[in-house]
Amino acid sequence: MPDTLAQPMRFGSSSGQPVTRRDGIAKVTGDADYAADHSPSGMLHAVYAPAAIARGRVTAMNTVAAEAHPGVVRVITPANRPALQGDPADKSVMFTFRIEVLQDDTVRYAGQPVALVLAETLEAATEGARLLDPQYAVEVPRVTLADAESEPVAGQGFGQPADTTHGDVDAGHAAAARSVDVTYTTAAQYHNAMEPHAIVAQWEGDHLSLDVPTQAFALSCAGYARYFGIPAENVTIRCPYLGGGFGSKAIPAGPLVLAVLAARDVGRPVKLALTRKQMFGPVGHRGATEQRLRIGADGEGRLSVIDHDNVAETSTFDDFVEPAANASQGLYAAGALRSRHRAVRLDVGTPGPMRAPGEASGSAALECAMDELAEASGIDPLEFRLRNYAETEPGTGRPYSSKALRDCYLQGAERFGWSGRPSAPGTMRDASGLLTGWGMGTALFPAPMFAAQARATLKADGTALVETSAADMGQGAWTALAQIAADSLGLPLDAVEFRAGHSSLPDGGVAGGSGHTATAGGALHAAGLDVVRQLGEIAAADPESPLHGAGNAQFVARDGRLFVEGDEGRSDALADILVRAGGAPLTGTGRGARAPEAAAAHAMYSHGAVFAEVKVDPDLGQIRVSRLVGAFAAGRIINPKLAESQLFGGMIWGVSFALHEEAKFDRRTGRIMNADFAGYHVPVNADVPGLEVIMVHEDDPHVNPLGVKGVGEIGIVGTVGAIGNAIRHATGRRVRRFPIRIEGMLG
C-alpha cells in the first residue's frame, strides 16, 4: 500500500475559490434564526438565580416572594427540583463535564445556578429570580492560583494532560551554554461568543425537541438523552447557526439542562437565555496558568532543552487543566523535552476548551521565553528559530505529514520587513515619537480529525442534495462544506443544495479542534465519490452510454459529466446517466475519519509564523498593535476568503489575549467584577488596524484525502508571544504577565 493518499491536484471548480459566505445576507439582514429567536406558543421564560458567593451553602431563599410575583409560574430550588434520570456527574459522553443542576445547596462558584424561576414573561422571571434574595453560609473562596496549593493532575484524559519527557532533561540543562529560567502567567479568560448560550426546549411525550446552539449535534443529543433517560434518537436539535462557540457549546451545559428539566416538569415549552454576565461562570473558560520555562541552548544557539512546567486552575468538582506545557513539545528541535502539569483547585466553574486550548497559553509563554534566550544568546529571534527548526517531530522523531513552516518564516519575514529590525530594544521611534517594536512567534496547531458521516443524493435533473449535521459557528461551514460537496460530485456550487444544522441529518461530528472542515468535509467528499462510483457502474453497464464497457476504469466527475480517468474523450452527463436508468435519485454515503495507523505514522500539524509591530507611548504607556503579519501553512485551503477570516479572527484573539482579556476576581467574594463587555475587553476595530494573512502553499499527501488541515485556532498561537516580544523590543521592558496593560509600561 502506498503511504500517500490519492489526491487530485485540483478538486474542481469550487474548492480553492474565495466564495462569499452563502449565509451572509441572511445574517446581516437578521433573517438567520438563532436558538433564542424561537418562541413557540405557550412558552415560559426561565431565569436562574446565580450564586453571589463562590464557596459555601445557600441557607435560605425567599421563594414566597418570588412565587407571589405576578407572572411567576414556578420556582425550582434544590428542595423541590424534579428528578433527573441521569447523573449530573456522568462523563460518559465525550467532552462532558459535571454539571450544576440544583442537585444540592452547595455553592461551588460564583454564578452557579441556585434556583430557577419560570414565568410568563422574561421580565417577571428576572424579577422573580431577584426576589429570591438567597442567603448564604459563606466560606473563604479560592479564586486565584495563589489561593490554594497545587496538586498532581487527576487521572488522564480530556483536560487531564499527562507529563511527557523525551531525552535526558538533566543532561540538556547541563549542556546549555546559555539558559533562561522564567515564569509567565496568563489570566482567566471567559468564552464570550456574540450569541450567549440559549435554549428553547419542548417535550412531546418522551420526545425532546430543542433549539440550542451546538458545536456537536450527536454528542449533544447523546448528552441530553442521558440526563433525561431517553434514547438519543428521541432528541431533536435544530441549530442552523451558532453565534460563535469557541469550545463552550459542544455539550449540554448545566443551565440549559435545567431549562429542559423545567419544560418537562411544567409541560410547556421553556426558553432560557444566559445574560452576558451569566456567561462568566457555568459555561466554561480558559483557566489561568503560571508557567515556568527553563530552556537552554549551546554556544551555537541550538536548544539543548525545553523544560516546561505548567500550573493551571481547575474547579473543586471536576478536571480541566489547561494543557499549556504540551504546546512546547512538538515545535523546536531541542535535545531534551519535558512537559509537566499541575492543578490548583479553585472555587470557579470548571474550565474547558477555549479556542486553541493549551496552545494559546503555552505558546504565549514559550515564544516569549524563546526570545529571552535568543536575546541572551545574541541571536536574531527569527534566526534562532530557524537554527532550531525541527525536520521531524521533536521527541518522537516521526516525520511530519507536511511542514511548510520554513516558507511561513521566510514569506512572513519578507512581507513584514523583518530584516530591517535593529537588535537592540528601545531604539525604534516612529514619526510621531512613539516607541516602536517588532516581535515574532511561531504558530503550531494539531490537525486532528474526528468522525463524521454524510449523505449525497444525485437527482435526475442534474442537481444534488448533500447532507450532514455539521455546525456553522460563523466559520463558514455552510459555504466551505458545500464547495467540497459540489466538487466531489463534479457539480457547480449552485446545483448543490446543502443541508446541515439539524440532528436528523447524518452525524457531522464536532465543529472543534480545527478539524471540522477536514472531518465533515471528508465525509461529504466520500459521499460524493460514492455516488460517482455507483454512477460509473450504471454507465459502464448501459449500452447507450459513451462510457459503456469501461467497467474497470476509474471515473471522475467534473462539470456535470462523468469521465473515464485519463481519457478525456469519453464522458457522459451525470443527469443523462440517471435519466436513462429510470430517473430515480441515487444516494451515496461517506465517512470522514482518520485511520489509527495513519494517525500514528505522521505528526500532523498546521504551522505558521506571526510578526507583530507595536507602538507604545513613551510617557503614557498606551499600547497598540499597529501591524500583524501572519503566514500560515495549513494544507489545502478550500475557501481562501473564509480561511483568511478565520486566521484574522485568531490573530485578533491573540491581540485580545496579549493586551485585553482578563476576568477580575474579587478575592473576598469570588465574584468576577468585570463580567460585561464594558469591563471585559476584547479588541475593537481600532485595535487591529493592520492585519495581513499570507496563506503559504502546502500539499499534504498524508493528512486526509482532501489534504485539508485546519485554520480555526492557529491564528491565536504565536500571535500572543509575538506581541509580548514586540513590546519588549519597543520598550526594553519584558512583561511576564498577560494581559499586558498600561500599568506594566509605567514606573
Partner 1 sequence: MKSFDFVQPRTVAEALAAWGPGAVWLGGGTSLIDLMKLGVAQPDVVIDLGRVAGMRSVDVQGDGAVRIGALVSNADLTRDAAFAARFPMVAEALLSGASGQLRNAATVAGNLMQHTRCAYFQDAGAACNRRDPGAGCDAQGGVGGGVAVLGASPACIAVNPSDFCVPLAALDAVVEVQGPEGGREIAMADFHLLPGDTPDRVTALAPGELIVALRLPAGADGFAGHSRYLKVRDRTSFAFATASAAAGLRMEHGRIAEARLALGAVAAKPWRVAEAEAVLIGQTPDADLFDRAATIAMAGAEPGDDLAWKIDLARKTAVRALCLAAAGTPARMPALPASVFAEPAGEKVHA
Nearer to partner 1, 130 or 570 (CB): 130
Selected binder of partner 1 within 171, 541, 579, 620 (CB under 8 A): 620
Strand order in the sheet with 207-211: 72-76, 113-119, 44-50, 270-273, 198-204, 207-211, 235-238
Contact window for partner 1 (CB under 8 A) among 184-192, 213-221, 381-389, 426-434: 426-434
CB 720 within 8 A of CB 614: no
Contact window for partner 1 (CB under 8 A) among 59-67, 254-262, 443-451, 677-685: 677-685
Instruction: Report the alpha-carbon distance of residue 596 to residue 341 in Å, rounded.
Output: 27
Nearer to partner 1, 537 or 619 (CB): 619
Nearer to partner 1, 117 or 239 (CB): 117
Q: Taking CA 491 as the corner, what is the angle to CA 468 and CA 582, rounded to the nearest 5 degrees?
A: 90
What number of other Cβ atoms are within 10 A of residue 178's Cβ? Answer: 18
Instruction: Report the alpha-carbon distance of residue 510 to residue 217 in Å, rounded.
Output: 8
* Element (DSSP H or E) covering residue 259: helix 254-266
Nearer to partner 1, 107 or 447 (CB): 107
Selected binder of partner 1 within 23, 100, 127, 698 (CB under 8 A): 127
* # binding residues, partner 1 (CB under 8 A): 41
746 lies in the binding site for partner 1 (CB under 8 A): yes
> What's the one-letter identity of residue 459?
K
678 lies in the binding site for partner 1 (CB under 8 A): yes
CB 136 within 8 A of CB 109: no
Tell me, rounded to whole angstroms, the distance of Cα 301 from its chain centroid: 34
Contact window for partner 1 (CB under 8 A) among 189-197, 244-252, 389-397, 736-744: 736-744
Contact window for partner 1 (CB under 8 A) among 141-149, 227-235, 498-506, 738-746: 738-746
Pure H helices in 595-683: 596-601, 640-655
User: DSSP code of 288?
Assistant: P
Choose among 199, 193, 197: nearest CA to 224. Answer: 199
Sign of CA dihedral 233, 235, 238, 239: negative
681 lies in the binding site for partner 1 (CB under 8 A): yes
Instruction: Report the alpha-carbon distance of residue 610 to residue 650 in Å, rounded.
Output: 11
Nearer to partner 1, 174 or 746 (CB): 746
Contact window for partner 1 (CB under 8 A) among 74-82, 137-145, 190-198, 611-619: 611-619
Q: Is 713 a catalytic residue?
A: yes
Nearer to partner 1, 173 or 615 (CB): 615
According to DSSP, the β-strands at 44-50 and 270-273 are parallel
Least CB distance to partner 1 at residue 431 (A): 6
429 lies in the binding site for partner 1 (CB under 8 A): no
130 lies in the binding site for partner 1 (CB under 8 A): yes
Site string for partner 1, 68-107 (x = CB under 8 A): --x-------------------------------------
Contact window for partner 1 (CB under 8 A) among 148-156, 169-177, 290-298, 428-436: 428-436
Nearer to partner 1, 592 or 654 (CB): 654
What number of other Cβ atoms are within 10 A of residue 543's Cβ? Answer: 7
Torsion of CA 70, 71, 77, 79, to 10 degrees: 70
Instruction: Report the alpha-carbon distance of residue 254 to residue 99 in Å, rounded.
Output: 5
Selected binder of partner 1 within 151, 461, 619, 699 (CB under 8 A): 619
Choose among 287, 291, 290, 289: nearest CA to 307. Answer: 291
387 lies in the binding site for partner 1 (CB under 8 A): no
Selected binder of partner 1 within 98, 142, 624, 733 (CB under 8 A): 624
- E-assigned strand segments in 405-463: 428-429, 435-446, 452-458
Sign of CA dihedral 431, 432, 433, 437: negative
- Interface of this chain with partner 1, residues 434 to 473, rule: CB under 8 A: 434
Q: Could you give the 3-state DSSP secondary structure of residue 1?
A: coil
- Interface of this chain with partner 1, residues 24 to 63, rule: CB under 8 A: 52
Instruction: Report the alpha-carbon distance of residue 527 to residue 521 in Å, rounded.
Output: 10
Selected binder of partner 1 within 683, 710, 718, 724 (CB under 8 A): 683
| Cβ burial 344-382 (10 Å sphere, 16+ → b, else e) | bbbbbbbbbbbbbbbbbbbbbbbbbbbbbbbbebebbbb
Selected binder of partner 1 within 679, 690, 697, 699 (CB under 8 A): 679
317: which 3 cell numbers?
468538582
Nearer to partner 1, 162 or 620 (CB): 620
Q: Could you give the 3-state DSSP secondary structure of residue 571?
A: strand
Contact window for partner 1 (CB under 8 A) among 212-220, 335-343, 615-623, 645-653: 615-623
Selected binder of partner 1 within 16, 426, 462, 621 (CB under 8 A): 621
Contact window for partner 1 (CB under 8 A) among 92-100, 351-359, 518-526, 735-743: 735-743
Site string for partner 1, 489-528 (x = CB under 8 A): ----------------------------------------
Least CB distance to partner 1 at residue 685 (A): 7
> What's the one-letter identity of residue 23?
D
741 lies in the binding site for partner 1 (CB under 8 A): yes
Instruction: Report the alpha-carbon distance of residue 217 to residue 226 in Å, rounded.
Output: 14
673 lies in the binding site for partner 1 (CB under 8 A): yes
- Interface of this chain with partner 1, residues 261 to 320, rule: CB under 8 A: 275, 277
Choose among 250, 191, 745, 698: nearest CA to 471. Answer: 250
Least CB distance to partner 1 at residue 301 (A): 36
Selected binder of partner 1 within 82, 668, 697, 699 (CB under 8 A): 668
Residue with cell 478525456: 568
196: which 3 cell numbers?
450567549
Choose among 536, 601, 526: nearest CA to 570. Answer: 536
Nearer to partner 1, 64 or 171 (CB): 64
According to DSSP, the β-strands at 270-273 and 289-297 are unpaired
Least CB distance to partner 1 at residue 189 (A): 15
- Distances in Å between the alpha carbon of 676 and those of 112, 196, 278, 298, 642? 17, 12, 9, 48, 29
Nearer to partner 1, 54 or 577 (CB): 54
Nearer to partner 1, 24 or 679 (CB): 679
Nearer to partner 1, 541 or 746 (CB): 746
Selected binder of partner 1 within 432, 569, 595, 597 (CB under 8 A): 432
Beta bridge mates, 309: 292, 340
Least CB distance to partner 1 at residue 146 (A): 15
Contact window for partner 1 (CB under 8 A) among 221-229, 451-459, 682-690, 700-708: 682-690
Selected binder of partner 1 within 666, 697, 699, 732 (CB under 8 A): 666
Selected binder of partner 1 within 182, 669, 701, 734 (CB under 8 A): 669
Selected binder of partner 1 within 90, 104, 123, 151 (CB under 8 A): 123
Instruction: Report the alpha-carbon distance of residue 370 to residue 306 in Å, rounded.
Output: 10
Burial class (CB in 10 A: 0-12, 13-18, 19+), 202: buried
Least CB distance to partner 1 at residue 165 (A): 39
* Positions marked catalytic: 713
Q: Which positions lie near partner 1, rule CB under 8 A?
A: 52, 70, 123, 126-127, 130, 275, 277, 431-432, 434, 615, 617, 619-622, 624, 659-660, 664-666, 668-669, 671, 673-674, 678-679, 681, 683-687, 741-743, 746-747
